[in-house]
Amino acid sequence: MTTAIRLSGVHVTIDGAHILKGVDLQVARGEWVNVIGPNGAGKTTLLRAIAGAIPATGSIEIDGAPAPTRSALGRTVAIVPQSPTIPPGVTVTDYVLLGRTPHRGPFAGDSPRDLQIAADALTRLDLAGFAARAVASLSGGERQRVVLARALVQQADLLLLDEPTTALDLGHQQDVLELVDGLRRDVGLTVVTTLHDLTLAGRYGERIVLLDRGEVVASGAPNDVLTEAMISKHFGATVRILDDGEGPVILPKVRRSSERLRQSRE
């Protein structure tokens, strides 16, 4: 299959801290890869490096070529960050239309096509009723969907999602992930997502990449990566794993105080 993303020996250092340490990663066109790992593993940094938002050394290729300039990258890569910057007072529609910026000239206004694409994205994400509302007036979950809508209207081939289910209730978590999966299947979208919820990571997408201390320590099918031993080693968690036929279900075990004390000493 054609490679959409290829990282070779990628390093990122921020304020003297070595965050990514020689990461090698390939993602096929149309594939959905979930990146998991403990806090501080470098997951967000990895997405930002792919998106060209931070400097990195090593090689990052998009569709077989070196990553283009930041402006051109906006037509190829869309990213949904955990903590987006939202201009004060901006309405939902105007914020979503910012995603069309890479497709028009620096002084061009919104075309009828831009407006239709934005309206379609709002409808898909159950946001049409909020179109004229200020983004700041929405709940955290509603804002999260607005940020996703802005990314979708870029109509990029590669979608990077940094904890896209944060602040969403269970129903909207499912809605967002199902929407992303539908777009991936319909238009061949390539998706790389970071997720804290390991059960969701095991049910959506095709491959899991486990990152720890800035290095890829495992990559493979959910059942191969989400094992009790792997989760214990890299997350320090004691879990039980069930498989209901749709993927692994991660259940935390209640640890007694003596067991917690023993593990802390180890």
Whole-model pTM: value is 0.87
Q: What is the mean pLDDT of residues 171-180?
A: 86
- pLDDT-wise least confident of 107-111, 128-132, 161-165, 192-196: 107-111
Percent of the chain with pLDDT over 70: 92
What is the amino acid identity at position 65?
A: A
Domains of the chain with CATH codes: 1-76+157-222 (3.40.50.300), 81-155 (no CATH)
pLDDT one-digit tens code per residue, 84-124 = 889 999 999 999 999 998 887 666 788 999 999 999 999 98
Return left, alpha or beta for 58; rule: phi > 0 is left, psi -120 to 50 is alpha, else beta: left
Q: Using CB atoms within 10 Å of the CB of residue 179, give its burial: 0 to 12 exposed, 13 to 18 middle, 19+ buried.
A: middle
Give which of 245, 204, 212, 209 is closest to 226, Cα–Cα.
209
User: Average of pLDDT values for 144-173?
Assistant: 90
Residue 266 has pLDDT above 90, yes or no: no
pLDDT one-digit tens code per residue, 29-71: 999 999 999 999 999 999 999 998 899 999 999 988 887 665 5
Q: What is the pLDDT of residue 247?
A: 86
Candidates 51, 22, 153; CA nearest to 100 is: 153
